[in-house]
């Protein structure tokens, strides 16, 4: 039971590790421990199955919303430019050929 501390540490770090937020040293420690400790590996697999759904719920809508906002802005700018160009074209036409 001398690796009880390692097990506790591993289980504390697992959620962050699965989100990819741990540093290289932690990753190294965790990967080593998971290779040698069947119990923690089982917990890791369980968490890995549960986490993606959470990550999707928490992170994806944010990203999608940001992309959506950028898309809206781009559409707005393009529509604005089209209107400006049409006005310039119409006025230019009137100036050259008269009404």
The contact set with Zn ion (CB under 5 A) reads: 7, 37, 40
| 44 vs 35: CA distance, rounded Å | 11
> Nearest distance from residue 36's CB to Zn ion, in Å?
8
Task: Please list, in sequence order, all residues whose beta carbon lies within 8 angstroms of the beta carbon of residue 17, skipping any fewer than 6 positions away.
Answer: 26, 27, 30
- Of 45 and 90, which has the nearer Cβ to Zn ion? 45
- Of 7 and 51, which has the nearer Cβ to Zn ion? 7
- Of 13 and 37, which has the nearer Cβ to Zn ion? 37
> Nearest distance from residue 48's CB to Zn ion, in Å?
15
| 6 vs 70: CA distance, rounded Å | 45
Residue position matching structure tokens 């604005």? 80
> Nearest distance from residue 13's CB to Zn ion, in Å?
11
Report yes or no: 40 and 8 within 8 Å, Cβ to Cβ: no
């Amino acid at each position: 039971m001398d690796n009880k501390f390692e097990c506790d540490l591993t289980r504390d770090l697992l959620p962050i590790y699965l989100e990819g937020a741990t540093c290289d040293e932690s990753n190294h420690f965790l990967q080593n421990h998971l290779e040698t400790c069947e119990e923690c590996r089982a917990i890791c697999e369980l968490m890995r199955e549960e986490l993606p759904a959470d990550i999707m719920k928490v992170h994806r809508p944010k990203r999608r919303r940001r992309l959506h906002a950028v898309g809206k802005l781009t559409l707005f700018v393009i529509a604005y430019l089209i209107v400006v160009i049409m006005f310039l074209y119409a006025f230019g036409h009137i100036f050259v050929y008269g009404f």
